[in-house]
Amino acid sequence: MSGGASAAGLDARPAPPAALAPGVAAALDDEAALAGSTRWRTRGDGGREGETLFAIEGIYCAACAGIIESALRVVPGVAQAEVNAASRRLQVRWDPQRTPLSALVLAVQRAGYRALPAQREDAHSALRKEARTALWRLFVAGFCMMQVMMLTLPVYVAAPGEIAPDLLALLRWATWMLTLPVMLFSAGPFFGGAWRALRQRRIGMDVPVAIGIAATFVAGTAVTFDPGGRFGAEPYLDSLTMFVTFLLAGRWLELRARARSTEALDALLLRMPDSVERLDADGTAHTVATARLRVGDRIRVAAGQAFPGDGTLQEGRTQVDEAMLSGESRPLERAPGDAVIGGSLNLGAPVVVVLGALGDGTRYAEIVDLVSRALTERPAMVRATDRIAGPFLWTVLALAAAAVAVWSVIDPPRALWVGVAVLIVTCPCALSLAAPAALLSAAGALARRGVLVQRLDAFEALAKSDVACFDKTGTLTEDRLVPADLHLAAGADGDALKSRAASLAALSRHPLSVALAAALPAAQQHAWREVRELAGQGIAATDESGRRWRLGSPGWVGVASAPAGRPTVCLAPDGAAVHEQVCFEFDEALRDDAPEALAALRAQGMALRLLSGDASASARALAAKVGIAEVRGEASPQDKLDALAQWQREGHRVLMVGDGLNDAPVLARADVSFALSHGSALAQQRSDFIVLGSRLAEIPATRARAVRTMQIVRKNLLWAAMYNALCVPLALVGWLPAWAAGAGMAGSSLVVVLNALRAGR
């Protein structure tokens, strides 16, 4: 996502906030440096608006997402802020005239998190550093846990009075000392997260966890230095270190799993090079930042480097990888004069390219915009679970308090431990991750196949669809025409007439002439002279013997009995007899994978329909070829809308596939829709999925993945509900120790995320 920045716009920006280091603020507010993560748009009132994608450090759950969104919405100039906890991405729409970007980063920082423009290398370095730190915290907690367990084991296995009191005290003090690194270092994220939430007057996942850890440590400390007091005789520090270790292990594995679910989307965002060699008029090369390039620049792209924009190959031959942009998995040959796409990889040799489009004007920018939307969008299902998370956490606190109160009467020394178990085990993290992790994993897998998801909600609609409706021209058929039938009079010399037709067609660039020349075998050479082409009629020329021949529309050529219904071109000499005339009927070429794709949809239980603006006869003929029973030809855009509305009133969930400008209304009205990448921009904007490379076989494959993904989401939600339904009563009756509660909480989130990864296979 990129866009040029005017000097006037830059000078008018508000001053950066003083709380950030001047160098950091200046770097954040340099629009050229933000070219990789910010798209600039013009609002309806003519004002300028930025849309920036951030990577967020320190976010673990939906409650964290709410804290960040609340912190940003109070910043002047912020029109929208949306966080996806599963992908750890934040997308902000903001007014550069009212606030600098550094103010947004500062607001996130004050909320206790860190935001970095998502496509800058330091953002990915920071996330890698965060992962390393998380691993260190886990290592320290695990090492101390093992030492604590080793020192605690004798106390558990020895008979009463078998260990001398002074030695027993020494073991407990050593255990307490080994617990300190866990509290001061390893448990830091839980206390930090709780503090951030409370400071924003919100409740997050870390609040009950931090309360449980702190209460256990306080009680364990009291028991260590005053055995037999109000908290009993057991310090349970082994349980404390164990459940902190389990929580950190689950969080680290979850972090890695979530990174895998979005790796394909991240890979697409990082395709553009940071710098490239620009060539002067004399051929001198200078390395410049990609943001400084302009349309018309000559650049040298090294082997293994991505093209920084759309352009034309000027020097050299190479192979390019367009898999992430067009869905074509094989390397493609490119020679001087061929077009190259920004973001595709140069696989062969260094080449020189003249840039034709940069930034927002490239196909890559459109794709990145769709990917960014997928990374930050929260579908309705996810928003519903997020709304549940807050009240659920308050319920957890109330249950824990009630458990402590009841157990204080039943068995006072156990009261605190039961309350801690309730706090730890009842975490909505698994519930919050159940849907987004699976949806993002599926979206990443589709991106690798060349299918872009514009709306994550569409997975559910696609899985429930039962009618697949197709446009004809450009969707089931290709743009090119192919000969469908040949009409020769009795006694005509077919080979000679076809040879003349092919030779004459080669002199014209009319689509029918091009199709005819491509379809007929190589013709013998004819010395045509006095060649003349009339727009809308055809081409005429004189042969070696002086006869005038015409190739074109039947009426202009003079053929009275030409077939009707399909595009037709005829050949005949002036004053020809019937046996000297030949007519070629044409039809649109059926896409190679159309029969296979339609058969796959039929096998999935989908009813197939065809809606076309073409003549009814032509639409029915094509439908018969591919086995579509219900056909509506000569349909206007309004007719298509009416047909779709009728099917929806009958209770059907309609999947629509189209490519043209006139398909945009029906694509928007359908329950779920696909647009092909060669189609109009408006059709793509109105669709839920875009198939790069226009491969129809991806439609049934995507639907099959959607069905599987929604099954995984339902299983995840069921697992999260069953886990809480089972573990909460166990904790309340005192049958679940604190360490088991920690293991259960970490395990439940991990099970959900690992199960979600299956959607990306």
> Annotated catalytic sites, by residue?
471
Q: Are 72 and 92 in contact (CB under 8 A)?
A: yes
What b/e sequence results for 647-665 when a residue is b if at least 16 CB atoms lie within 10 Å of its CB, and e otherwise?
beeeebbbbbbbbbebbbb
- 286 pairs with which residues across the strands? 278
Q: Are 505 and 513 in contact (CB under 8 A)?
A: yes
- 82 pairs with which residues across the strands? 91
Pairing mode, strands 538-542 and 529-534: antiparallel
Pairing mode, strands 630-632 and 607-611: parallel
| Long-range contact pairs involving 30-33 (C-beta distance under 8 Å, separation at least 24) | 31/5, 32/5, 32/289, 32/291, 32/292, 33/120, 33/291
Coil, helix or strand at residue 631: strand
Tell me how far apart the alpha carbons of residues 266 and 53 are, in angstroms, rounded to a whole number: 12
How would DSSP label each residue in 20-38?
Answer: S-HHHHHHHT-TTGGGGTE
Residue 679 dihedral angles phi and psi, to the nearest 5°:
-80, -175
- Tally of CA atoms within 13 A in the half-sphere of 625 that contains its CB: 20
Pairing mode, strands 467-470 and 654-658: parallel
Residue 701 dihedral angles phi and psi, to the nearest 5°:
-65, -40
Selection from 683, 149, 702 nearest residue 448 by Cα: 702
**Residue entry with tokens 């990888």:** 321
What b/e sequence results for 121-132 when a residue is b if at least 16 CB atoms lie within 10 Å of its CB, and e otherwise?
eebbebbeebee
Selection from 327, 303, 376 nearest residue 37 by Cα: 376
DSSP letter at 342? Answer: T
Specify the DSSP element, H or E, that contains 487.
Answer: strand 477-488
**Residue entry with tokens 């034309």:** 312
How would DSSP label each residue in 137-177?
Answer: HHHHHHHHHHHHHHHHHHHHHSPTTSS-HHHHHHHHHHHHH
- 538 pairs with which residues across the strands? 534, 552
**Sign of the four-CA dihedral 627, 631, 637, 639:** negative
Pairing mode, strands 607-611 and 467-470: parallel
Q: Are 649 and 634 in contact (CB under 8 A)?
A: no
Q: Are 386 and 704 in contact (CB under 8 A)?
A: no
Coil, helix or strand at residue 691: strand
Q: Are 380 and 461 in contact (CB under 8 A)?
A: no
Q: How many residues does the chain have?
A: 761
What's the Cα-to-Cα distance from 72 to each of 13, 90, 92, 104, rounded to whole Å?
A: 18, 10, 8, 7
**Sign of the four-CA dihedral 67, 68, 69, 71:** positive
**Residue entry with tokens 């103010």:** 103
Kindly report the number of other CB atoms within 10 A of residue 42's CB atom.
9
**Sign of the four-CA dihedral 524, 526, 532, 538:** negative
What's the Cα-to-Cα distance from 585 to each of 25, 515, 523, 553, 590, rounded to whole Å?
A: 67, 11, 19, 11, 15
